[in-house]
Amino acid sequence: MTILFAGYAKNLGTADALLVDYTDAEGNEYANIANNYLSKNTYANINSMWRLAPGVVRNWGKLALSLEWHITSVQYGELLKLKVVESDGKKTTHSYVQAENGMAENNLHWITNHRLQMMLKYSF
């Protein structure tokens, strides 16, 4: 028996602009991801991703053997990192995304992962 899993996810950004925390010399507006509730428990710099996982399963009575190959590719954008001097004089680094849509669209690059997985199962 053969199996195939395929999936795609795309970050569409926000419909409304986020609150502007920083404006650079060219007039580009950025929002601090620490102030974005939706980015707290996820990766704020993912633009899109896809996964393909073909596999085969062979059964011999109560014994089953399967082999799967998972290919996952994620497109990341670069967050703008700025060092800020706090009121107590301590320097901290904050990460920013574009305020227009809440996405990190600078320096987009793909990272691909390959994983081979095998299973041996005996049912009794």
**What is the residue-wise DSSP string for 62-98?**
TEEEEEEEEEEEEEEEEPEEEEEE-TTS-EEEEEEEE
Q: What is the structure's pLDDT at 63? A: 97
Q: Is the pLDDT of residue 96 over 90?
A: no
Sheet with 91-98, strands from edge to edge, namely 22-23, 29-32, 91-98, 80-85
Token representation of residue 56: 């085969």
For the chain, domain boundaries? 2-122
Which of 45-49, 88-92, 102-106 reaches the highest mean pLDDT? 45-49
What's the whole-model pTM score?
Answer: 0.73
Encode pLDDT of 7-53 as tens digits: 999 988 888 878 788 888 888 888 887 776 665 666 778 899 999 99
